[in-house]
Amino acid sequence: MQKALFLDRDGIINIDHGYVSKIEDFIFTEGIFELLRLFLDKAYLLFIVTNQSGIGRGYYSEDDFLRLTSWMLEEFKKREIEIVSVEYCPHAPEEKCSCRKPEIGMIDEILAKQNIILEKSWLIGDKQSDIDLAHNATIANTIAIGERKIEKATYTFKTILECKEFLEKNKDIIAP
Ligand SMILES: [Mg+2]
Ligand SMILES: [Zn+2]
């Protein structure tokens, strides 16, 4: 059984300027590599779970998304950060699918392949739907990032950098 860190993508991994689909628009957030390193050092498996309704809305194609994802994973690999998998919901909201956050389809996909201890796992997101996903899927610990008002998160920080600095000083929070 392993602990997992579930990560939203836009606003967490990269700066969210809305429907990012091109490499040149993909800017990693400050401190994200160091933050992920803290979790890797505590033996967490890393997963990205991302709503990509831009596909369903026709703003960009699934191929565009997959191309950007391969590039992103390469950038992580250069820094010795392994992401176990990237789960994405390509649907528009009106399709009423079972994978669009806060529905738990993407987490179920991961749990079907991995033995994860949800009581010791974390989720980091920047929207209420991320934190609601964690509650719906019984992921015990949550971190909300940003200026939005988000309810029910375990911790809230304005930026990824602040989150990283807090966890550097309080490593025991994510230790077993
Ligand atoms: Mg987001
Ligand atoms: Zn979906």
> pLDDT of 78-93, one tens digit each?
999 999 999 999 999 9
What separation in Å is there between the alpha carbon of 8 and the centre of ligand 2? 15
The one-letter amino acid code at 57 reads R
Q: Helices 160-169 and 32-41 meet at what angle, rounded to 10?
A: 30
Catalytic residue annotation: 8, 10
The CA radius of gyration of the chain, in Å to the nearest whole number, is 15
pLDDT at 101 over 90: yes
- Ligand with the closest atom to the CA of 90: 2
What separation in Å is there between the alpha carbon of 18 and the centre of ligand 1? 9
Rounded to two decimals, the pTM is: 0.98
User: What is the residue-averaged pLDDT of the chain?
Assistant: 97
pLDDT at 176 over 80: no
- Distance between start and end Cα atoms, the chain: 12
CA distance 174 to 176: 7
What separation in Å is there between the alpha carbon of 8 and the centre of ligand 1? 6
Domains of the chain, first to last: 3-174 (3.40.50.1000)
